[in-house]
Amino acid sequence: MFERKINPIEKSVMFLSLNTMIQFKCHQKLDFNNLKKAILCTKQRFQYLRLKILKDNENFKFVEQNDQELNETKIEIVQLKSIEEFQTEWKERHILFGSKNHDLTLGVLFFHLYYYDNNYELYMSSNHSGNDARGHFIILKDIITNLENILCDKIELKDRKKFLNIHENISHNFCLDDLKAGPWYENEFQRLENIPRENIIEEKFKNLSYNFEFFQFDEETSLKIIQNCKLNKCSVQAIFSLASTIALVNEKIDLKSISDKIECLNSIPCDMRYYFGLDLEDLIKGAASLCWLQQLGKNDNLWSVAEQTTKVIHDMKNSNEGIKWWLKCLNGYNLSKYSHIASSLGKISLSEENLRNIKIMDLRFSCSTPYKAINDVFFKNSESRFQMMHVFTYSNRLTFNFCCSYPTFSSEWTKRFFQNVKNIMLSFKQENLFLDDVIPLLLR
């Protein structure tokens, strides 16, 4: 039976859950047992999904499920009362699911299904310790493919995927003493103590662990922004990271008042699968944090800043800064104290073009902190002040979300902050854009 200790990199995100909601229709009424079979096929393919997390003194470890735990696929199923409830109340359901205190001693994968008539809304949560967002969508895609095959009475054999322990014994030529000596960063724009918390909590939200805001651009707007990115030799991740950085700085100072450049800490996640020659279907905690100091001035051309950011990210990946981050994490060295991270998940496809029995309607993603027992270990007597943003392209539309711990950040602040991010992102429809142009759009 498989068993191993959870290493520091995996442990650093063990309190985080990756959550998706997918809305779909079936050409025939869905037999819930078929959905369970599809999930079991995916668990049998990916070793990580057959694990649970146990605590051994002060350490945590992965342990393989027994046969009963493996074969018992639990899905909480709720029938909704109307199509209006199905269409309009998804956000509340999403937040409640993402806040649910999943029991990791039973497994790392959890589900909830809501439905009305032949409309289905499947929620899936996977623990972040042995998986990342890219892997999370691989799991979802595999389940949907399996369900399609079951509905078609078709059997498809796929390669089994072992749970790899890639973080230990990393091959590198970096001097650990140099890494330990620095540099590491923290500055005033990363301190979040003064951001207001929720004072009055509604009864139905008293058990929430996080909040979630979402917006999606139409195809025309999405295409224009992507074309501008190509024209200016920068990535969508670069402009999204820049927009979220500006919005965070706006929380600290009035940008109208700055006379010179300000310096702030930026951070993005970097997928390290390429370093180990792995493919996207290997479930690992494959992301490292790339951090750098960035300067901003009122007269800066934001497209030029985004181009420079794209180059910085590219150079940091090529010089294996991600491996340096992993080594610092594994050895307990000081890590830069970033407070926000803007992640790009790229283009998400669930092979919709090959599905005959299933019609996918929409997709949502979030990251949350739902594990009370683990949070007590990680944060002890303090509270988590966690926030993360994601952007991905789905169905030719740029899709954005903002997740943050609750009630440590108020819902009013969350809405206002993410509205600022949205306003800045919409500004990138312009081919010429300066920081001075977006400052009047920012709410304070």
pLDDT tens for each residue of 103-162: 999 999 999 999 999 999 999 999 999 999 999 999 999 999 999 999 998 878 788 999
pLDDT at 383 over 80: no
Q: CATH topology of 3-151 equal to that of 178-349+382-441?
A: yes
Q: Which residues contact 42 (CB under 8 A, 6 or more apart)?
A: 49, 139, 142, 143, 146
Instruction: Return the pLDDT at 38.
Output: 96
Share of the chain above pLDDT 70, in %: 98
Domain boundaries, the chain: 3-151, 178-349+382-441
Is residue 99 very low, low, confident or very high in pLDDT (cuts 50, 70, 90)? very high
Tokens of 333: 């060295």
Q: In angstroms, what CA-CA distances link 282 with 45, 114, 244, 392?
A: 11, 30, 30, 20
Instruction: Return the pLDDT at 379.
Output: 67
Q: Select the more confidently predicted residue: 186 or 73.
A: 73
Domain 3-151 has CATH 3.40.50.300: no
317-328 per-position pLDDT tens digit: 999 999 999 999
Tokens of 367: 């990251």
Q: Given 3.30.420.40, 3.30.70.20, 3.40.50.720, 3.30.559.30, which CATH number is that of 178-349+382-441? A: 3.30.559.30
30-61 per-position pLDDT tens digit: 999 999 999 999 999 999 999 999 988 878 99
**310 in Cβ contact with 234 (< 8 Å):** yes
Share of the chain above pLDDT 90, in %: 68
Task: Measure the CA–CA gap between 234 and 131, rounded to whole angstroms.
Answer: 28
Instruction: Return the pLDDT at 381.
Output: 61
Task: Measure the CA–CA gap between 283 and 264, rounded to whole angstroms.
Answer: 33
Is residue 380 very low, low, confident or very high in pLDDT (cuts 50, 70, 90)? low
Is residue 93 very low, low, confident or very high in pLDDT (cuts 50, 70, 90)? very high
Q: Select the more confidently predicted residue: 272 or 416.
A: 416
Instruction: Return the pLDDT at 121.
Output: 98
pLDDT at 195 over 90: no
Task: Please classify residue 370 by burial: count the beta carbons closer than 10 Å to its beta carbon, then call 0-12 exposed, 13-18 middle and 19+ buried.
Answer: buried
Q: What is the pTM of this model?
A: 0.93
